[in-house]
Amino acid sequence: MSEVAITTRSRGVARLARKNPLLAWGALVAAALIVVALAAPLIAPHPQDAGSTMHPAATLQSPSRAHPFGTDMYGRDELSRVVYGARVSLSVAGLVLIIAVAIGVPLGIAAGYFGGVVDNIIMRVTDVFLAFPALLLSLALVSVLGPSVRNAVLAISVTWWPWYTRLARGQAASVRGRQFIESCRALGVPRFRMLWRHVLPNSVTPLIVQVSLDAGGVILTAAALSFLGLGAQDPTPEWGLMVSQGQDFFTTQWWLVTFPGIAILITAMAFNLMGDGLREVLDPKRVLTR
Amino acid sequence: MLGIRTRFLALAFAVLMLFVLSNCGSTSKLAQVQNETFTYAANVEIMPGGWDPSTDYSSELIAMAQMYEGLTRYNAVDKKVEPLLAESFDSSNGGKQWTFTLRSGVKFHTGRPLTALAAKAAIERTIKLGQGAAYIWDPVKSIDTPDAHTLVFHLKYAAPLDLIASAGYASWIFDTKAAGSGDLGKWFAAGRDAGTGPYTVDTWQPGQEVQVTLKAFPGYWGGWSGTRYQRVVFRYVPAATTTVQLLKAGDVNAEMQLTPQLWASFQNDPNFLTTSTPSYYNFFAMLNTQRAPLSDVRVRQAIAYGINYDGIVAVLKGNAVKSSGIVPAGLFGHFDDLPNYTYDPTKAEALLREAGYGPGGKNIKLVLTYEQGDNFEAMTSAVIKSSLAPLNIDVGVRPLQWSVLWAKTQASDLSQRQDIAIYGWYPDYPDPASWFVNLFETQNPPVYNATYYSNQTVDRMIGEAMKLTASDRPKAETQYRDIQVKLLQDVPAVPLVGMVYQRVLPRSVSGFQDDPAYPDVVFVYQLTPVK
Amino acid sequence: MRAYILKRIGLGLVVVLGVVLVTFVIARLVPGDPAVAWVGLHATPREIQQARHTLGLDRPLYAQIVTYVKGVASGNWGTSIHTKRPVLSDIGSRAAASLELVVTAMLLALALGIPLGLVSARWHGRLPDLLVRLGAVVGVSMPTFWMAMILQLVFFQRLGLLPVAGEYDPSVAYLNPLVLYTHVPVIDALLNGNWPMLQSSLTHLVMPAVVVAAYPMAVIARMVRASILDSLGEDHIRMVRALGFSERAVFGRFALKSTLNPVLAVTALVFAYSLASTFLVEAIFDWPGLGMYAADSIRSLDTPAIIGVTLLVALVYVGSNLIVDIAQAIIDPRIRLN
C-alpha cells in the first residue's frame, strides 16, 4: 500500500511542480545553493580569503576581473566570502530548525495526546514565547549571552520551537480521536509505540512544509543578528556581518553591502518560494500564520 | 464601487506626492541662519550623563567645553599649559603647593562674578561628590583664598596641579549658588548650566535628533568682537554616511569621527578642509606575563616582531599611526626614537624556535579579548590574528562587553584570564603617568594592569617620574624615556597604534585646530565663519 | 459573550506574567557585573560597591524577582545604564517617533496589501497573480536593513529625490518652530498649519515607512488572497454567483467581507513584528525612536533598557492580539463557539 502511495504522490508532485513554476524555481535555487555551499572550495576563486588571511595592500578594490565582487577592508576577495557565506547561513538554518523540531515536536505531541493539565501547561508556555517577535527575543538573549554563531543558533532556536509545538499538538490532537488509535489502545499497545507509529508519521507533511517555510525566516533572523554585531564574528564569512561591515563604506564602496545582501535575499526567497509551493501542493488547507 | 475608490486613492496619492516633492523653502533666510549657527554632528548621545559639571565623564565634554572653563587649558601643539580662568599659576615646595591668580571681570552665566571663593566652592563640590573623574583632585589637602583673586592649593604629595586643572572632566569652575537654596544637582539635571564659557544652554531635547542648542553668552569675558558663531547646535547622527550627506548639504560644520574612507572621499573636494591629528587614545596588546608561553620574554618579543603594524595602519586607512613607545605623540614624554619593534617575521620565528615553538615546533594557542562593538579594536585584532597565524600561533579572538572583559582580566581563577587583551587607553588629564600607573605598575589584585607585570625597579621609576612632573618637567621627560626603554625590552604589552582624529570641515569654517587633550571638542568660540 | 471576553483577558494576563518572568531570566543571564557597566571605565571599587547597592544587586534572588515584578506593574522598569534615566521615561520620549513610523507603515501596508491581494485572487493563476505572489515572496524575504541602505543609495545618493535620514530638517524646524502637542512632527505640523514642516517631515517619512511596510504588506496581500480564494469555494458565494451578480460585485461586496477577520488578525501580528523591525531600520535612518534606543542599548549592553524595550513590544503584541480577539468575537459571533 505504501509503495503505491509514494509513486502516485511523487508523480503528482512532478506534475504540480510544472503547474507551479514558483515552487520549481525555489527548489532549483535552493538546491543550487546547497551545491554552492558543499562545493565552496572548488567555486571560490580565493578560498583562503574566507578565513583569517588578509591582504592589507589590496583593500577596498572595486569589482574587476580578478575580484568580480571587489575586495573588502582587509583586502579579501568578496566573491569567495559570499560563496563561503552559503555554508554559514545554511548550516545555521539547518541547526536551528533541527533543534526547534527536536524540542517543539515532542512537546506538541505530548500536549495534544495527553490533553488536560499537560496540554494547558505546555501551551501556556508556548504562548509566552510566541508573544515575543522572533528577532526581538533572540536579540535580547544574544546581547546578554555574548555574540557568537553558537549563541545565535541557541537564541534563535529558543524563539522558534513553540511554532512546532503548536503544529505537532494540532496533529496529535486530530489523530487522537480517530478510530484506529482507540482500537490500538483497547488492544493494549504501549503509549510510546502508539505515538511513534501513528502520530509522528501523520505530522510529517505539515512539518516539511513548515520547515521549508521557516528556513527563510531563520536565515533572515540570523543575518539580522549578525548585522547588529550579535552573531558571527570576523573572519567568519557571514552575509549579515558582511553587510554590517560594509555599512561604513556603502556610499563609497557599494559592492560590500550589495553582494552579500543579494545573497541573503536570494536564499530567503528560494526557501520561501519552495515552502509556499509545497504548502499549496501538500497541505492546501493550511493558512499562513507568519 | 471599488473602481471609484481606487481612482480616488490614486488621485489623493498623486497629489500628496506632488506636494511632498515640490520644493518651496525660503532659501535666503535659511542661509543666514546657517551662517551664524555652528552645527556639530555627534555619533553618540550628547549629554548621556546629564548636565552636572562635577560628575560628567563622557561625551558631554563636547558641549560642556563650550559652556564651562577650567583654571587652565592644555595646548598640544607646544605641549604647554596655558592660562584660562587663572591668569597665572606657580608651584612651590617641590610641587606640593600651587598658587593660581584668577582673571578679573569674569562672570558666571548666572550673573554672579567669578571669585576665589566661588572657584574653591566649585572644586570642593566636585571633590565631595566624588563621582566621574573627581579623583583627579585626590592630591588636594586644602584650598586657601587669601584674597578675592588668589587660590592656594596645599597638596598631600607633589602633583602637577596645572595639568590636573586643565582636564576635560571634573575641572570645570561653576557657580555653586546657581540653584539658590534649591538642590544644585537637580537644577543641573533639568538641562541648565552655570559656567563662565562663551555659550550657554538654549534648548535641550533628549532623545531627539537636535539634542542641544547653545546661544552666545553676551557677558563673556573674552568679548564678542569680530565675526563669531552665535549659536551652537548639537545633532545626534549615529550613521557616518548620514553625517557625510549633512556635511555636503551644508547642514553640519563639524563632526565626530567619520570612517577613514568617507574622510578620504573629501580630500579632493575644494569646499572642504580635511584635518588629521594624532590623539591621546592609543592601543596595546596586553600580554599575560604570568602564564606560559607568554611568561617567556622571548615569546613576548616574538609576538612584538610578529605583528604586522603596517597592516593594521593599512586596514585602518589613516585612522591610525604606529605607536612609538607608550606615550602618544603630542604629550610630553613621547619620543620618536625609542627602540620600537617593527614587523620582522624572521626574527620572530628565530625567537620562537629558541623557546621551542614556531613553525614546525610546538603550537601556541592564545585567547585574545577586545571590547565588543569597537570597530577599531576589531580590525586591529583581526590583523593580529592573521599575522601571527604563519608563526604557528593560533589566536582565538573573543569580543566581550567591557564589563565582562574587565572581570575576566581580574578573575581569581587564573585559568579564566585571557592571554592577550586589546586595551585602548587615554588620560583624563594630559599626564603620561596615567598609562604607567594604570597599565604597568604592580597591582595586586590587578585593576587595569592586564599584563600582571610586576617590576620593583619600574614601580620606583614611575613614582620618581610623577614627583618630577610636579617640580621639574624636563627631568621627568628623561625619566619617562628610561621607563619606556625598559618596558620595550620586557614587553609586558605590545604598543600597537594610536588613533588619529580625522575631521572634515567646510571651508566656511576658519581657525580650527583639533586638541587631543579634549577629545572631539571643537572650541566654537575660537572659530570664524567665512562667507 | 462576557464570559468569553473575561476568559481571553485572563489568559492574556497569564501570558503577560510569563513574559515578565522570561525577561527577568534574560536579565539574570548577563555575564560579568552590571555594576561595572553602570559606573564605566576608570571606576574605583567604592563606586562599584555603591552602584551594586543602588541597583539592588546585593539582595537575594527571590527578593529581586518580587521587586522586579512589582516594579514592572507599578511602572518602575529600572534605570538605563546608558542614559541614567528611568527606562520607562526613556521609552515614553521615544515612543511617538516609532509609532509615527510603524503606524504609517501599517497604513501603507493595508492600503497596498489589500488591493494587491484582491488582484491576485481575482486573476487567480494568471500573470497578475504570479506577479503579486512573487512580489510578496520578495517582501517577506527582503533583509530590511539591506533594503534601507539600497533605498538610500538609489533615492538619495543617485536620484537625490528624498532626504537620507532624520525625522525632519532641523533648519526648517528652526525657521518654522512647531508647537508640540503630540510630539509626532507630521501631526503637529498639521495642527499648527505649518506647511514647510509638514513637507519636511513627510519627505523624511517616505523611505523608512516603505522599508518597514514591505514585510507587513506582503503578509497582508497573501492573507487577503488566501482568504478570498477560500471563501470563493463557500456556498453563499456560489449562491451569489448563481444569482447573476457581476464578478466585481462578488469580489467587492461579498468575498471582501470574508477577509476582514483574517486581515485584522494578521495586522495585529505584524504590528508587533514591525515594531521589532524598527530595531534594524531606525538606526540606519537616524530615526529617534525605540528602535534606535534599542540599538544603542545593545551596543552599550544596557540590560535594563534592552529588557524594557523587549517587554514593551511583547506587551504590545499580547495587547493587540487580545483586542483583535475581542473585536472578532463582536463582529463574528461564531468565533466564540470555537
Note down the domain range covering B238: 1-63+197-271+507-531
Lowest-confidence segment of A231-240, B335-344, C79-88, C108-117 by average pLDDT:
C79-88
Residue among A230, A244, A269 whose CB faces C298 most closely: A230
Residues of A in contact with C301 (CB under 8 A): 143-144
Has residue A45 been placed in a domain? no
Is position A43 within any domain?
no
- Domain hosting A261: range is 21-37+78-289
User: Please, what is the Cα angle at B231 between B230 and B235, to 5 degrees?
Assistant: 160
- Beta carbons of B268 and C317 less than 8 angstroms apart: no
Distance CA C188, CA B158 (A): 60
Return d(Cα A25, Cα A4) in angstroms, integer: 28
Which of A62, A252, A253 to mutate to test binding with chain B, by most B CBs within 10 Å of its CB?
A252
List, in order, residues 6 or more apart from B356 with CB less than 8 Å away. B362
Tell me: pLDDT of A289 over 50.
Answer: no
> Are B28 and B75 part of one and the same domain?
no
Average confidence score pLDDT of chain A: 85
DSSP string, B54-74: TT--STTHHHHHHH-B-SEEE
Structural domains in chain B (count):
3
* Contact of C144 with C280, CB cutoff 8 Å: yes
Q: Which residues of A touch C215 (CB under 8 A)?
A: none
Residues B292, B365 within the same domain: yes
pLDDT band at A288 (very low <50, low <70, confident <90, very high): very low
Q: How far is C8 from chain A (nearest CA, A)?
A: 13
Residue in A109, A107, A103 with CA at minimum distance from that of residue A191: A109
Decide if B131 and C47 are in contact by the 8 Å CB cutoff: yes
- pLDDT of the residue at C151: 94
- Largest Cα separation within chain B, whole Å, is 96
* pLDDT band for position A192 (cuts 50, 70, 90): low
- Let me know if residue B525 belongs to a domain: yes
| Lowest pLDDT segment from A264-268, A274-278, B12-16 | B12-16
- Asked if C315 has any chain B CB less than 8 Å from its own CB, the reply is no
Per residue in B190-218, pLDDT (tens digit) is 999 999 999 999 999 887 788 899 999 99
- For strand B150-155 and strand B97-102, is the pairing parallel, antiparallel, or unpaired? antiparallel
Instruction: Indicate the SS3 state at residue B302.
Output: helix
The owner of cell 588571511 is: A53
Q: Does residue C247 have a pLDDT over 80?
A: no
Task: In whole angstroms, give the CA distance from residue C154 to residue C148.
Answer: 10
Q: Which residues of B touch A52 (CB under 8 A)?
A: 382, 385-386, 389
Contact assignment for C227 to A272 by CB distance below 8 Å? no
The model carries a pTM of 0.82
Taking the C-alpha atoms of residue B97 and residue B91, their distance in angstroms, rounded to an integer, is 6
Residues B230 and B298 occupy one common structural domain: no
C251 touches chain A (CB under 8 A): no
Q: What is the dihedral of CA A97, A98, A102, A105, to 10 degrees?
A: 40
Q: Of A222, A234, A224, nearest to A154 (Cα)?
A: A222
Residue A260, preceding peptide bond in cis (omega within 30° of 0): no
Q: How far apart are CA B321 and CA B279, in angstroms?
A: 10
Q: Kindly state whether residues B337 and B235 are assigned to the same domain.
A: no
- The answer as to whether A221 is a domain residue is yes
Q: Between residues A151 and B6, which one has the greater pLDDT? A: A151
**Residue C34 pLDDT > 70, yes or no?**
no
Please determine, for residue A151, whether its predicted confidence score (pLDDT) is greater than 50.
yes
| C226-254: average pLDDT | 74
Q: Which of residues 203-232 of C touch A (CB under 8 A)?
A: 219, 222-223, 226-227, 230
Q: pLDDT for C256-294, tens place per residue?
A: 777 888 888 888 888 888 888 898 999 888 898 999 888
Query: CATH code at B92?
Result: 3.90.76.10
Please write the tens of the pLDDT for every residue from B93-140. Answer: 989 999 999 999 999 999 999 999 999 999 999 999 988 889 999 999
Is residue A47 one of the residues assigned to a domain? no
Pairing status of strand B364-371 against strand B140-147: unpaired
Q: What is the CATH number of the domain that holds A221?
A: 1.10.3720.10
pLDDT averaged over every residue in chain B: 90
Q: What is the pLDDT of residue B207?
A: 72
Q: Which residues of A touch C146 (CB under 8 A)?
A: 243, 257, 261, 264-265
Q: Greater confidence, A101 or C268?
A: A101
In this complex, is the C-beta atom of C276 within 8 Å of any C-beta atom belonging to chain A? yes
Partners of chain A (3+ Cβ pairs below 8 A) = B, C
List of residues 6+ apart from B210 with CB closer than 8 A: B203, B233, B234, B235, B236, C170, C173
Each residue's pLDDT tens digit, C144-188: 999 999 999 899 888 888 888 888 877 787 778 888 888 888 888
What is the Cα–Cα distance from B52 to B191, expressed in whole angstroms?
9
B367 CB near a chain A CB, below 8 Å? no
DSSP 8-state class, residue C255: I
Residues B406 and B469 in one domain: yes
For strands B199-204 and B210-216, give the pairing: antiparallel
What is the C-alpha separation between C94 and C308, in angstroms, rounded? 13
* Alpha carbon of B49: minimum distance to chain C alpha carbons (Å): 6
User: How many angstroms separate the CA atoms of B392 and A174, rounded?
Assistant: 60
Kindly give the pairing relationship between strand B231-236 and strand B37-42: parallel
List pLDDT tens digits, range B229-288. 999 999 988 778 788 888 988 889 999 878 888 898 898 999 999 999 999 999 999 999
Could you tell me if B221 and B255 lie in one domain?
yes
CA atoms within 13 A on the CB side of C178: 25
pLDDT of B23 > 70? The answer is no
B436-468 tens-digit pLDDT? 999 999 998 888 999 999 999 999 999 999 999
User: Cα(B428)–Cα(B58) distance, rounded to whole angstroms?
Assistant: 11
Q: How far is B366 from chain A (nearest CA, A)?
A: 15
Q: Do B387 and B456 fall within a single domain? A: yes
3-state secondary structure of B86: strand
Mutate to test the interface with B, among C107, C286, C296, C298 (most CBs of B within 10 A): C286
Same domain flag for B352 and B222: no
Provide, as residue numbers in chain C, all residues whose Cβ is less than 8 Å from the Cβ of A146: 31
Q: What is the pLDDT of residue B28?
A: 54
Cα separation values, B240 from A105, B247, B440, C162, C285, Å: 46, 11, 36, 18, 11
Does the residue A2 lie in any domain?
no
Instruction: Examine the domain organization and report whether B51 and B81 are in the same domain.
Output: no
Annotation: CATH topology of C93-301 = MetI-like fold (1.10.3720)
Question: By three-state DSSP, how is residue C124 classified?
Answer: coil
The pLDDT value given to residue A4: 43
Whole-number pLDDT of residue C82? 73
A144 near B CB under 8 A: no
- CATH (domain of B454): 3.10.105.10
DSSP state for residue C152 in the 8-state scheme: I
User: What pLDDT does residue B29 have?
Assistant: 58
Q: Residue B106 falls within a domain, yes or no?
A: yes
Same domain, B220 and B333: no
Residue B155 shares a structural domain with residue B222: no
Predicted local confidence at residue C42, as pLDDT = 55
Q: Is C251 on the interface with B (CB under 8 A)?
A: yes
DSSP string, C168-221: S-HHHHHHSPPPPSSS-HHHHHHHHT-HHHHHHHHHHHHHHHHHHHHHHHHHHH
Q: Are C97 and C289 in contact (CB under 8 A)?
A: yes
Higher-pLDDT residue of B77, C108: C108
Residues contacting residue B490 through CB under 8 Å, at least 6 positions apart: B297, B300, B453, B455
User: Would residue B57 count as lying in a domain?
Assistant: yes
Query: What are B113's three cell numbers?
Result: 562674578
Residues of A in contact with C29 (CB under 8 A): 141, 144-145
